[in-house]
Amino acid sequence: MAAQRRYGRFVGLAVMGGPLLVAGIVLAGPARADATSYLSDVHNAGIREVGGDPALLQTGQRLCLEIGYGASTGQLESFAVQQSDAEQGARGLTSQQAYELVEYAVADLCPNY
């Protein structure tokens, strides 16, 4: 009889705890963006922004939005080079830096992509 009570309690806990565990996993927040890693990565790639780190973060966040809207990384790389050349001339981004800018944004700031 004591064994049945323990078994009944165990089953009761499993029945109550299972849905709570599933709900916790489903309702858990999305992965957080890592701004520190992003800034470190782009600085190590030699990428600087006239507006400093806040402008770099804003650029990375805009890249995430564009990816969310369906832009390809190749399109964003081309656009980054064009914008950089238009704003900074010969001091603008190289193709490699544009690639790294987009890739680091995806890896560090766009947790859903």
Q: What is the pLDDT of residue 105?
A: 95
pTM of the model: 0.68
Q: What is the pLDDT of residues 63-113, one digit of tens each?
A: 999 999 999 999 999 999 999 888 888 888 999 999 999 999 999 999 887
Cα-based distances in Å from 67 to 50, 56, 72, 102: 24, 17, 6, 10
Residue 9 banded pLDDT, cuts 50, 70, 90: low
H runs (alpha helix) in the chain: 2-27, 35-44, 53-68, 73-88, 95-104
Residue 3 banded pLDDT, cuts 50, 70, 90: low
Q: What is the pLDDT of residues 22-73, one digit of tens each?
A: 434 333 334 456 899 999 999 999 998 878 999 999 999 999 999 999 999 9
